[in-house]
Amino acid sequence: MRQAVLTCVTLLLLACGCTSVTAGTPSSPPVVQVSPAFDARRARTDRGLVIRSLGGTLDRVLVSVGGEQVPGRLDGSRTIWHSAWTLKPAAEYTVTATAQGARGPATVAMGRFRTRPVEHTFQVASTTPLPGETVGVGMPVIIDFDSPIADKAAVERTLEVKAERPVEGAWRWTSDTQVIYRTHRFWTPHQRVTVTAHLAGVRAGAGLYGATDSTFSFTVGRAQISVINTRTHQMRVRRDGAIVQRMAISAGMATTPEYTTTSGIHLTMDKGDPVRMISPGRVKGEPGYYDVMIDHAVRISNSGEYVHAKDNVWAQGRANVSHGCINARPDQAAWFYDGSLRGDPVTIIGTDRELEWSNGWGFWQLSWERWRQGSARPYVDPAGDRVP
């Protein structure tokens, strides 16, 4: 469709008996520039849509695709409008933009264009948390892609986290296919969080483009934070600031690094009742071999650490005798199991083996400064300043 430009000219009319009539000279109407241009059939997707007003300010911009409004932002001078995200491949966009001059005529530009199709695409393969899941206050957001990402900064720009009670956060790339979002401090409890990957049309590498947007929401539940002291053999559980449980525990015997419980901020990752536990690196008949079914087991790392039930009350509260796990009285372990959400912080102190940040969800082991260094984009603090 050809561009249609409607210009409204205001005429100054003076009427008075036999007095002569003089028409004021109107100023030139603003010029509206649209990129991609109207009638384009193979517009690029990765540069978004830009609308400029020359000689005036943009008064109103309406853009739609597939019957949905396209979000965008005006700059401070109100002369440039830019779509918030990249454009969908193989889609038709309809644009109406009104530019107002300082005085006199306005310009209304209306038209359409189509974006080019793409051959090689990528998309979100999986997310953590799951859509609709209720999680603990330490929960990270983990996004896995189905193809390696070369232009990580371009993809990271498309990732949006909206919380009902916003908190500062940053993304960190752990591989070419995985990026993780962690907040500066724990989430505020009792709120909903929505994560959107505006991937459609983003260029992630040579010939590789986002196929479609992806969005999901989860709920941050109550704030359950546990602290385990391996020297006093005690575990304390708080919910929303109040102590709700005290548990006598037994931790790793610490005769080897393998049997030493890791100290640091762990997160609950999953749970099972029962869980089969087999000694790593040992075969049946060797000293230290075990193959047992353990009840009410809540996993807190990838190195085999759980908080679980065990009927060895003689050691709990007195001695560390486990292979590295935290065990507690069966009824209390069942209580902890039933009340645990993924992402609940469990801080362990008192051992000389530190939890590595890459062991399970040990992300809180990194300082905020180190965490944000894993981002592909320059960090901007809440005050709007770029931080090296």
In 78-233 the beta strands, taken as DSSP E runs, fall at 80-83, 92-100, 106-114, 120-122, 124-128, 134-135, 141-145, 159-163, 169-173, 178-183, 191-197, 203-205, 208-210, 214-220, 224-229
Residue among 233, 296, 323, 325 flagged as catalytic: 325
Q: Which two tokens stand for residue 169?
A: 């956060």
Phi, psi angles (nearest 5°) of residue 330: -50, -40
Annotation says 233 is catalytic: no
Q: Which residue(s) pair with 56 in the sheet? A: none
Q: How far apart are CA 317 and CA 351, in angstroms?
A: 16
For strands 124-128 and 141-145, give the pairing. antiparallel
Q: How many residues does the chain have?
A: 388
CB burial class (10 A; 0-12, 13-18, 19+) of residue 55? middle
Residue among 266, 296, 308, 323 flagged as catalytic: 308
Q: How many CB atoms lie within 10 A of CB 340?
A: 22
DSSP for 234-270, written as a single string? EEEEEETTEEEEEEEEE-B--SSSTTSPPBEEEE--E
Answer whether 65's CB lies under 8 Å from 8's CB.
no
Q: How far apart are CA 258 and CA 299, in angstroms?
A: 16
CB burial class (10 A; 0-12, 13-18, 19+) of residue 197? buried
Dihedral angle of Cα 204, 205, 208, 210, to the nearest 10 degrees: 0
Annotation says 198 is catalytic: no
Q: How far apart are CA 249 and CA 233, in angstroms?
A: 5
Report H helices in the chain.
152-156, 330-339, 368-372
Which residues are identified as catalytic? Answer: 308, 325
